[in-house]
Structure 1
Amino acid sequence: MDRLKIRAGRRRVLRALAALGAGAALPLSRITPARALIQDAPPSRPQARMMTDLIGTNGWATSPTDLQMWRAMGISWGRGSVGPGQPDRPGENMRIDKTGSTFDSDLPSVLIRNERNGIGSLLLLGYTPAWNASVPGDSNSAPVDVDAWTQYVDAVVRKYSAPPYNLRYFQIWNEAAGKLSGGLPQATFWHGPRFDKDEKHAQPYERAMQDYVERIHIPAARIIRRYHAYVVYGGWPDQGGLDNFQRWLEYRSPALKERMLDWVDYIDTHYLPVSDMESLYQQYVKNGPARGIWQTEIGNEYMKDPHYLPRYFFDFAVWALGRQWDDPNKYLSMIYHWDGYEPFRLTHRGPPARTYNASGQSLVVLRQTAGGELASFTQPVQGGPSVAVKALFSGSDLVMQVSAASGWQTLAIPGLESLRSRTVQMDFIDALTGNASASNTLATSWDNGLMKVRFRVPDKVNGADNDPPKHLAYLVVRHAT
């Protein structure tokens, strides 16, 4: 991934999924702006929903060791660029077999490896070659010749939607937006007239929405749907504002007389909390037209808080279980980034050998602790004064994620009366290390149908840099069903 320093409000992101676009022309047949024309085979039985369904990452696993670590962390999706297309001049041979920040990695072998190992692949379609940029030399601006863009998109989707790759998900651009609610006059990856690298001198891009919809999104979405694949929106930036995002989605092009929303299968945002997905679900997914909600970038410097990822994905799972999670690909969040040298990434690449950082180890613990078939626990668990708790079923276990201060704490759990006549098996598991506390740090009793649990939080909590310091752990009632 490119290491381009940018400022984006709440976060400072070191990233740029670079890809330059162009390709060989084919006539574009027009199709109805509806959901992708794929007939999903009806399952023989209801499919199990798993924590791993929700977890993806930016980048690719490129070795057997990488794949082993992805499986241990529960990562089931990767995201990367495709190109370089026609970077130097119009008419050159289309090249779409490379990936990475400098297009120095072989893409077909990555995608085949993913397919064989049950990992989904999302290809990011972007950006504009410098020779075709409406802002001279700026690959983040609209193309002068839209045909060059559609040729690139067609070449990518035609090749990779077919065997042996069989990809069905393609993302259009990255973080295209106009003036952001967070204050930036132009979005980081979508530039127009009066753009300036110095934000103090940049002016708003007045046609940002219209140019993106007419020159990038709908032309690319038509191609993706023509190959019976799904359109993933390009990731709305966290500083864009959800009201502004709704305006973009529902914008109807005067020239095309169509809404962008009708050419989006998966709503996609970046770096938002799970709670922000609720309005998007209610507006666009619960009754359509979109199929689901993705976040193709989360994490980054938020992962300096080692509680961030385990809390995010547990919260995401609880939320999804209550939101018609009837397709394993309906909800997905992709971590930025699984690989690097910063101590908050999922792994440190070495040398000598790749190792887990705290954030990566927390995913290993989450997968081990809540690795079964997920189901909602609808009873309200009552935490003590300094305890926050969320709960779900993983297989036959009731798994509660608790955030609490040190010392003895309490929970009251309704709905488990069937355990009253049995010996209750219970574990208190550190959410970062996976270590289980000694049995004498747990005690249970019953009071008017409630299972009362006392548990001791260590004096040295695992979120010492939090304010106030808290400990994150899983309280697991074994064989609760």
Structure 2
Amino acid sequence: MFAGQRIDTLAHFAGRRRILRLLAACAGMATPLARARTALSLSAGAPGTQAHGMHERRITQLIGSNGWAGAPDDVEMWRAMGISWGRGSVGPGQPHSPLDVMRVDKTSSAFDADLPPALLANKRNGIGSLLQLGYTPWWNSRVPRDANSAPVDVAGWTRYVEAVVRQYSAPPYNLRHFQIWNEAAGTLSGGLAQATFWHGPDADGNLKTSKPYARAMQDYVDKIHIPAARIIRRYRAYVVYGGWPDQGGLDNFKTWLEYRSPVWNERMLDWVDYIDTHYLPVTDLDSLYRQYVKNGPARGVWQTEIGDAYMKDPHYLPRYFFDLAVWALDSDWDDPNKYLSMVYHWDGYEPFRLTHRGPPERTYNVSGRSLVALCRTANGTLSAFPKAMKFGAGVDGKALLSGRDLVMQVSAEPGWRSVGVTGIRPPANANARVELIDAVTGGASAASDIAGTWSGATLNVRFKVPSVTNGADGTGNSSNSGHSGNSNNPPHRHLAYVVVHDVNMA
């Protein structure tokens, strides 16, 4: 349905992400330099097959990526980074004429890679697969030859959706999650009159000069979302919303979730199983959870795109996913698929991607190594840490339990810093076994740079932050991407994990 359009372009407008062309081509298949192993165990069954309410909460359940793993070596890197879901395109549908044979066996930006083997490899390796449904072939586009246009004939759209869901919800694939479109919206808060991926009348091919699409969301709900969602549900599968863009505004998103279509006499919300947004900080997810998930009707809150240029800050991903885990543990995380965020993108040539695809061989970038460090450090069953913590001057942080380990993620200024934890019993030998682990490299500090002592039921930890920190450009120099999620990362801060092993809860 992409009609051969290139969809991996990135541009920035007014300091914000503007155009994210979805789902880059499948990556090269080189061997990485390093094979970092974690405790991640991806079973033969994909995440989407696990039973509701019957799971051990793991950091890996929260981590996905745009694209497919590809070669076996790539799968091993996904395992090390904790990536348990992939997201990709499906098509090309009927690209040239409604008389074309329906083709839904290809993926990648140019539909030049075979989709079925990728999905079967994901299933074999315990990786969940999300298929993104879109867009409009040129012969059916309201805006001439525009793949992001509203369709003229809705039947052309539903034929494509039916073909995809019928094939891939059945054996041997058994997919249960399908995403409808991508970032459909109307006028954006940043000033664009039409959304990047949803065009209507008065779209002139230039996002800055096009006039507003007055019925953008009405047409999306009536012609795209509900018709597709009805097909998805008919095959006993789940509807993932198409990813509300960060520039669209949450209040605006809620307005359209609750919009009642006069064509169907139903709200869009009634046809959404997973609320989905793009590029928001974790704090913005809470209102969506409380309003639409805590008491229904939706099953969870996803972000099918995060990261991108924000990953120029090497603290972005480890802070985001640690924050997400802490928040999820306090937000009824009773299903392995309830909360998920997918990195855009896991490979490429920009230095901030998770990996560099080579040649000569695929290697981890800084952002990828930070995920390896997180998954190695918090590799047990997660639970909330209910006790009080007191951070000393120049340090802040959050905590969770990973198995029997207390893991505190701390952002601290150089020098000796401290944190006190009440409500845990000292070990028999009265000495805490503690570690200070670099959140970017995963390296442990010297034993002399961290010490834990008890005073009654309070553990006091002192640790030494290096003078050359790992934030924000990896050299000790600070840079801020402008994302609100980075507001607690002032200049020259170091991001690390203070780990207390085998804690005894009082």
User: Which range, TM-score by smaller chain?
Assistant: over 0.9
- Whole-angstrom distance in 2 between the partners of 1:103 and 1:41: 31
* Residue deviations 1:35-89 (CA, integer Å, cap 9, x gap): xxxx98867x941000000000000011010000000100000000000000011
Q: Secondary structure at the match of 1:114?
A: helix
Q: Is the counterpart of residue 337 in structure 1 residue 345 in structure 2?
A: yes
The corresponding residue for 2:186 is 178
**Conservation of the 8 A alpha-carbon contact between 1:18 and 1:126:** no
Q: Is the counterpart of residue 4 in structure 1 residue 12 in structure 2?
A: no
Q: 1:368 to 1:41 in 2, by over 3 A?
A: closer
Unaligned regions of 5+ residues in structure 2, if any? 1-5, 26-47, 479-489
- Whole-angstrom distance in 1 between the partners of 2:142 and 2:19: 26
Q: How does 1:75-474 map to 2 (within 5 A)?
A: 75-419=83-427, 422-447=430-455, 449-463=457-471, 464-466=476-478, 467-474=490-497
- Whole-angstrom distance in 2 between the partners of 1:305 and 1:322: 27
User: Could you tell me how far 1:418 is from its partner in structure 2?
Assistant: 4.2
**Conservation of the 8 A alpha-carbon contact between 2:130 and 2:177:** yes
The corresponding residue for 2:22 is 16
Q: Secondary structure at the match of 1:2?
A: coil
The number of residue pairs the alignment matches comes to: 461
Which of 465-474 and 114-123 deviates more? Answer: 465-474
The corresponding residue for 2:44 is none
- Whole-angstrom distance in 1 between the partners of 2:379 and 2:277: 26
**Conservation of the 8 A alpha-carbon contact between 1:182 and 1:241:** no
Q: Secondary structure at the match of 1:11?
A: strand
Which amino acid counterpart does residue 275 of structure 1 have in structure 2?
A: T
Q: Secondary structure at the match of 1:382?
A: strand
* Residue deviations 1:218-268 (CA, integer Å, cap 9, x gap): 000000000000000000000000000001100111222110000000000
Which amino acid counterpart does residue 16 of structure 1 have in structure 2?
A: L
Which of 72-81 and 177-186 deviates more? Answer: 177-186
Q: TM-score, structure 2 length as denominator?
A: 0.88
Q: 1:381 to 1:263 in 2, by over 3 A?
A: same
The corresponding residue for 1:47 is 55
**Conservation of the 8 A alpha-carbon contact between 2:196 and 2:207:** no
**Conservation of the 8 A alpha-carbon contact between 2:430 and 2:453:** no
- Whole-angstrom distance in 2 between the partners of 1:418 and 1:475: 17
Which amino acid counterpart does residue 233 of structure 1 have in structure 2?
A: Y
Which of 418-427 and 81-90 deviates more? Answer: 418-427
Q: 1:78 to 1:394 in 2, by over 3 A?
A: same
Q: TM-score, structure 1 length as denominator?
A: 0.93
**Conservation of the 8 A alpha-carbon contact between 2:200 and 2:213:** yes
Q: 1:429 to 1:40 in 2, by over 3 A?
A: closer
Paired-residue identity, %: 66
Q: Secondary structure at the match of 2:320?
A: helix
User: Could you tell me how far 1:448 is from its partner in structure 2?
Assistant: 5.0
* Residue deviations 1:387-446 (CA, integer Å, cap 9, x gap): 111000001100000010100001011111243754311100011111111111112233
**Conservation of the 8 A alpha-carbon contact between 1:18 and 1:81:** no
Which amino acid counterpart does residue 465 of structure 1 have in structure 2?
A: N
The corresponding residue for 1:35 is none
User: Could you tell me how far 1:15 is from its partner in structure 2?
Assistant: 2.2
Which of 470-479 and 10-19 deviates more? Answer: 10-19
- Whole-angstrom distance in 1 between the partners of 2:441 and 2:318: 12
**Conservation of the 8 A alpha-carbon contact between 2:23 and 2:66:** no
**Conservation of the 8 A alpha-carbon contact between 1:6 and 1:188:** no
The corresponding residue for 2:487 is none
* Residue deviations 1:256-297 (CA, integer Å, cap 9, x gap): 211000000000000000000011011000000000000000
Which amino acid counterpart does residue 177 of structure 2 have in structure 1?
A: Y
- Whole-angstrom distance in 1 between the partners of 2:223 and 2:24: 19
The corresponding residue for 2:501 is 478
- Whole-angstrom distance in 2 between the partners of 1:459 and 1:165: 52
**Conservation of the 8 A alpha-carbon contact between 2:70 and 2:118:** yes
**Conservation of the 8 A alpha-carbon contact between 1:13 and 1:300:** no
Q: 1:407 to 1:81 in 2, by over 3 A?
A: same
Which amino acid counterpart does residue 474 of structure 1 have in structure 2?
A: Y
**Conservation of the 8 A alpha-carbon contact between 1:381 and 1:389:** no
- Whole-angstrom distance in 2 between the partners of 1:477 and 1:425: 6
User: Could you tell me how far 1:465 is from its partner in structure 2?
Assistant: 3.2
**Conservation of the 8 A alpha-carbon contact between 1:79 and 1:122:** yes
Q: Secondary structure at the match of 1:3?
A: coil
- Whole-angstrom distance in 1 between the partners of 2:388 and 2:163: 52
CA RMSD of aligned residues (A): 1.8
Q: Secondary structure at the match of 2:260?
A: coil
- Whole-angstrom distance in 2 between the partners of 1:359 and 1:17: 19
Q: 1:171 to 1:379 in 2, by over 3 A?
A: same
- Whole-angstrom distance in 1 between the partners of 2:115 and 2:330: 37
User: Could you tell me how far 1:128 is from its partner in structure 2?
Assistant: 0.4
- Whole-angstrom distance in 2 between the partners of 1:42 and 1:364: 27
Which amino acid counterpart does residue 250 of structure 1 have in structure 2?
A: E
Q: 1:7 to 1:458 in 2, by over 3 A?
A: closer
Which of 314-323 and 175-184 deviates more? Answer: 175-184
Q: Secondary structure at the match of 2:149?
A: coil
User: Could you tell me how far 1:14 is from its partner in structure 2?
Assistant: 4.5
